A and B are shown apart, each in its own frame.
Chain A
């Protein structure tokens, strides 16, 4: 079992739909990072959070430390949101370790 699991792996939505992507982890963490990977390959940081909730535009990220779970929500989705969304955690063990999920591929249809 992977230490960081994302669901779903693939998601197709119609423009305007509310989208939720989930991330569960099994290790102790100091922070969780949501990343967006564009079709061309580039990776952009969306949120880094260690508790509660953060919002930026149409994107909302939440984390529940007790349940070891985070969600990324996209409101009023748009075709330009089509990308791979990656969850990554910074663990509390050792000097350094950053574990990535395998990503959720989102396609938003016009």
Chain B
């Protein structure tokens, strides 16, 4: 079984709808991240969490919110989806304490299309 899973894998929705993307991990990592990938651009950080009570905005958090329900679960929500949020979304995890850097492990991605 995959260590980092994302659901759904593909989603088509309409402008104005609320969407939730879910991420689960079995690696026992404290740190979790949400990124989006657009053609021609590198992955960009939306939100990250160092533990259940520690959630931080990334470089492109506007229009998104997150919830860290447990160490293993980190959800990304689009309260009112808009077409320019059409992208490939990745969840990632890493171990290590605050201030240290550790290798990140990525989920399979969620392809979201907003019409």
Binding site for B on A (CB under 8 A): 2, 4, 30-31, 33, 35, 41-45, 48, 86, 88, 90, 95-96, 98-103
Selected contact of A45 from candidates B33, B104, B109, CB within 8 Å: B104
Given that A31-B101, A96-B48, A98-B104 are contacting pairs, would A86 and B42 also be in contact in the complex, using a CB cutoff of 8 Å?
Answer: yes
Binding site for A on B (CB under 8 A): 33, 40-45, 48, 50, 56, 88, 90, 98-99, 101, 103-106, 108-109, 111
Contacts of B108 in A (CB 8 A): 41-42
User: Are A86 and B43 touching (Cβ within 8 A)?
Assistant: yes
Complex A-B, nearest 3 residue pairs according to Cβ-Cβ distance, in ascending order: A100-B42, A43-B106, A90-B101
**Shortest distance in angstroms between B55's beta carbon and chain A's nearest beta carbon?**
12
Contacts of B45 in A (CB 8 A): 98
Contacts of B109 in A (CB 8 A): 41-43
Given that A101-B42, A102-B41 are contacting pairs, would A41 and B88 also be in contact in the complex, using a CB cutoff of 8 Å?
Answer: yes
**Shortest distance in angstroms between A51's beta carbon and chain B's nearest beta carbon?**
14
22 sample A-B contacts, Cβ–Cβ < 8 Å, listed by A number: A2-B42, A4-B42, A30-B101, A31-B101, A35-B106, A41-B109, A41-B111, A42-B106, A42-B108, A44-B106, A48-B103, A86-B42, A88-B42, A88-B43, A90-B101, A95-B56, A95-B98, A96-B56, A100-B43, A102-B40, A102-B41, A102-B42
